[in-house]
Structure 1
């Protein structure tokens, strides 16, 4: 069913002033309704109803497939993006993995812990272009021993949107592992060029915690070793009498039965996104980001994130002078603006459902800040 961007915006029920989707996206009205309905089924436990909840696994894999363009049988549900990254990093079978030390810790910890435990892969730290992971910098630092590259689709510190198509072109047949959590559902990225794509559903897709996925290319399935592979990842059709080998599919990256209610919640949120279309959502977010730029410029607040539409998603990083950061943070707080306050900057995250009242509140905060400064 196709919906409009205005209909999609009505699934946002959070109070005005919320600009922190890069940290957590308040659960959508659709995902909330799905959760309540599923818990009602679990509470009643009518004959046959519990068994039918297992169908949510195929539903959520179909929903992920529609947005990533990976076949649904190459998708496996994960409770977090971090667990998906651990599966990918521990599955690497040798060589060097190239990544930035400035990546979100889910990536760096996965690479280092895999190196420490398995002793078959070595993290190599990329020298970035002002924390931006670019194809040019990767090309300069590739070596014959580089077997994989790990990168965030959207950098959580700078809001920079990585050119994963360009990265694919420069790395050739090396494995490309993408943490998509800061852009999945709102950036129309060419996910199909990656070998591994992971994401969680608690941020921009607004599906709440405990939701996520790992999607793998056929080449990744062939080359990665499923180190953490439980009984649900074996091709034994439920037999308990032997321990089988991991499946020759993405299902091998499964440890136990997933939470079907979390799967239903995630699927419902993704179905909403597919109904309106990622390009429409991306356009609406882009318009909101431009409005934040205009307000920041009006009140002479320096913007550290890229203004180039090809290099950004939904996050705007403001970086006032160090002595003015406290005043800006206090003004945002006093005007009811929820944002991520860091040691040197403020990160605002705009979504397709950000309201006029929220922009008015942001203007009020900037006015107070300018007066105090």
Structure 2
């Protein structure tokens, strides 16, 4: 069992970092895992290769504990976008999604539609990053066979309610891009038919890590179009090209996995599971509330939700016209790392964001306010 303080001890970044929604600094646990794996691969003692391959099952077990899907239905991916392409190319029928989702989803859908001409898309417009059950209910029709959403919207920090979405869409496939929030949001992943994510943000596992997690229903419906030799039922099918092992997660693989990446992601998820995602989420939202209070004191209009059950670790403001530059300068000159996009500034905090970072933010906002007063 891990305590919150032990979990926080694995955060190594320097003061001023408020950008987990872009890059999650690698945890001490993942760093140590990486060093151990490369030391093993460098020396390659007898049996080292066999031991390294066990990370495939290790990752499946770790992800299964998080998503509720069977371990047999989980495969490693190098990133979220690759996973979504494999899923959308395997989908036929009619999919519903917001046009304003992070580009990974709409690009994958349009590419699949253009290449195979068996997928139709109904776009939701005007959701402003908030794909709620009510929004979906208004857009649903009898032709729609699948719905795709992001767990947390990258531009507003709005958290989708997967349980409520499942209730309104019925037995249609639910595909979730979980890159924003995986590991820190206590979501009902079992309500989803496909969960796709990378591990380089909130999971703090570094680039090249990720997974696809399927329900049995999804594997029955999806066609493994992007499928390599490892996606067949035969081991190394020399001299023949068997069909993909339809109905299995392995059918969506193209080659052997990056076992070191699997080790890093496994270590990251195991650490979070040891503490408990609800405990991590509570700590993240408490830190986010501190940011919101400081931004309110600086009279910065909040774009992200205030309701606790819609919040995430992402807090976003839209400064008044002509004031974005002043805020950006104050943050930069204080040494704070944030993201500015389309007239907004995004702050993203984790459970381990340290107090000195909040003191720096308070100082930056004082500078910003003073520039407003003059």
Q: TM-score, normalised by structure 2?
A: 0.98
Q: Which residue of 2 aligns with 1:164?
A: 162
- Mapped to 2, the partners of 1:45 and 1:305 lie a distance apart of 50
Q: Tell me, yes or no, if the aligned pair for 2:287 and 2:349 is still in contact at 8 Å.
A: yes
Q: Displacement, 1:17?
A: 0.7
Q: Deviation string for 1:147-177 (max 9, x for gaps)? A: 1111000001110001111111111111110
Unaligned 5+ segments in structure 2 are none
Q: Secondary structure of the equivalent of 2:75?
A: strand
Shift of 1:322: 2.5
Deviation of the 1:233 alpha carbon? 1.2
1:120 paired residue number: 118
SS in 2 for 1:284: helix
Q: Distance in 1 between matches of 2:238 and 2:312?
A: 47
Greater shift in the superposed pair: 287-296 or 121-130: 121-130
1:68 corresponds to which residue? 67
Distance in 2 between residues matched to 1:185 and 1:16, nearest whole Å? 22
Tell me the secondary structure at the aligned position of residue 97 of structure 2: strand
- Which residue of structure 2 aligns with residue 81 of structure 1? 80
Cα deviation for residue 82 of structure 1 reads: 0.6
Q: Which residue of 2 aligns with 1:348?
A: 347
Deviation at 1:145, TM superposition (A): 1.2
- In 2, the alpha carbon distance for the partners of 1:322 and 1:232 equals 54
1:1-373 to 2 correspondences below 5 Å: 2-94=1-93, 96-247=94-245, 248-373=247-372
SS of 2:327's equivalent in the other structure is: helix
Q: Give me the whole-angstrom Cα distance separating, in 1, the residues matched to 2:332 and 2:238.
A: 56
Superposed CA offset, 1:24-44 (max 9, x none): 100000001100110111111
Q: Distance in 2 between matches of 1:92 and 1:147?
A: 10
* Contact 1:128/1:134 (<8 A) preserved: no
Give the Cα–Cα distance (whole angstroms) in 1 for the partners of residues 61 and 239 of structure 2.
32
Instruction: Deviation per CA, 1:168-205: give whole Å up to 9, x if none.
Output: 11111111100011011001101001111111000000
8 Å Cα contact 1:97/1:146 also seen in 2: yes
- Determine if contact 1:229/1:252 at 8 Å carries over to the other structure: yes
> Do 1:285 and 1:350's aligned partners in 2 also have CA atoms closer than 8 Å?
yes
| Contact kept? 1:158, 1:304, Cα under 8 Å | yes
Give the length in aligned residue pairs.
371
Which ranges of structure 1 fall in alignment gaps of 5 or more residues?
none
Q: Which moved more, 1:68-77 or 1:125-134?
A: 125-134
1:199-251 Cα offsets, whole Å, 9 max, x none, are 10000000000000001111110010000011111110333232222123111
- Deviation string 1:60-112 (CA, Å, 9 cap, x unpaired) is 11111111111111111111111111111111122x21111110000010110
TM-score by length of 1: 0.98
Partners of 1:44 and 1:299 in 2: CA distance: 56
1:287-309 residue CA offsets vs partner (Å, 9 max, x unmatched): 10110111011111111110101
| SS of match in other structure, 1:169 | helix
Aligned-residue CA RMSD (Å)? 1.0
Asked if structure 1 preserves the Cα contact closer than 8 Å seen for 2:229 and 2:237, the reply is no
Q: Whole-Å Cα distance in 2 between the matches of residues 293 and 118 of structure 1? A: 46
Render the CA deviation track for 1:116-156: whole Å, top value 9, x for unaligned: 10100112111343331011111111122111111000001
Report if the CA contact (8 A) 1:103-1:151 is conserved: yes
Aligned 8 A contact 1:299 1:367 in 2: yes
The 2-side partners of 1:59 and 1:76 are apart by 11
DSSP 3-state at the match of 1:104: coil
